[in-house]
């Protein structure tokens, strides 16, 4: 099952985030073994993965030769700051201070579902990341999703 939706949430001073009920229902159905929370590679946000997603991801990383220096550096940096998290009985998750600092999380944060897990953003950074003001989204969509039309008549 894939997660669906974008949710604004409040984070308290201790880093606890109350998960909205519709997202909580989705997470409970897929995350019975807990979750893995990590830094994103390309953006200043966090990624929340199910245990199954995490195992699949680390199985591909295990194929790297750790005696190649660049592979070893990648593995070390990729795993930096990883935390095991669970929802508590009140439906909250706890985000550690180091991850809060990495993603510049403030009082209001955004959970954004992707096909690969859940991204956790500072609200203003999320708004900038999804703004199409400076992006030709139609062109980007064509470049990423379009296939060459082999039936073109010249």
With respect to residue 32, please indicate whether it lies within any of the assigned structural domains. yes
The reported pLDDT for the residue numbered 102 is 96
Task: Tell me, yes or no, whether 10 lies in a domain.
Answer: yes
- Kindly state whether residue 150 falls inside one of the protein's structural domains: no
Supply the Cα-derived Rg of the chain in whole angstroms.
18
Model-level pTM? 0.84
Q: What is the mean pLDDT of residues 25-31?
A: 74
Domain that holds residue 98: 6-145
Instruction: Assign residue 17 the CATH number of its domain.
Output: 3.40.1550.20
Task: Say if 154 falls within a structural domain.
Answer: no
Q: Number of structural domains, the chain?
A: 1
Q: pLDDT tens digits, residue range 90-148?
A: 889 999 999 999 999 999 999 998 888 899 999 999 999 988 776 777 887 788 888 76
In a domain, 88, yes or no: yes
**Is 72 within the bounds of a domain?**
yes
Position 1 in a domain: no
HEC profile for the chain? Answer: CCCCCEEEEEECCCCEEECCHHHHHHHHHHCCCCEEEEECCCCCCEEEEEHHHHHHHHHHHCCCCCCCHHHHHHHHHHCCCCEEECCCCCCEEECCHHHHHHCCCCCEEEEEEECCEEEEEEHHHHHHHHCCCCCCHHHHHHHHHCCCCCCCCC
pLDDT value for 31: 62
Please report whether residue 81 resides in a domain.
yes
Closest by CA position to 29, among listed 57, 52, 1: 1
Condensed to tens digits (0 to 9), the pLDDT of residues 40-92 reads 999 999 999 888 889 999 999 999 999 999 999 999 999 999 999 988 888 89
> What Cα–Cα distance (Å) separates residue 116 from each residue in 40, 50, 71, 85, 91?
12, 9, 23, 17, 22
Cβ pair 115, 132 in contact under 8 A: no
Query: Does residue 37 or residue 116 have the better pLDDT?
Result: 37
Taking the CB of residue 67, how many other CB atoms lie within 10 A of it?
Answer: 7
């Amino acid at each position: 099952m894939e997660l669906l939706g974008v949710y604004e949430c409040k984070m308290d001073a201790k880093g606890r985030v109350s998960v909205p009920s519709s997202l909580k229902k989705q997470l409970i159905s897929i995350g019975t073994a807990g979750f893995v929370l990590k830094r994103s590679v390309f953006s200043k946000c966090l990624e929340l993965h199910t245990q199954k997603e995490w195992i699949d991801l680390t199985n591909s990383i295990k194929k790297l030769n750790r005696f190649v220096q660049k592979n070893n550096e990648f593995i070390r940096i990729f795993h930096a700051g990883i935390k095991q998290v669970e929802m508590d009985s009140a439906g909250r998750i706890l985000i550690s201070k180091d991850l809060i600092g990495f993603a510049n999380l403030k009082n209001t944060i955004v959970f954004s579902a992707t096909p690969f897990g859940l991204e956790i953003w500072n609200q203003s950074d999320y708004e900038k990341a999804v703004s199409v003001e400076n992006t030709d989204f139609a062109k980007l969509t064509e470049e990423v999703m379009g296939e060459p039309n082999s039936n073109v008549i010249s």
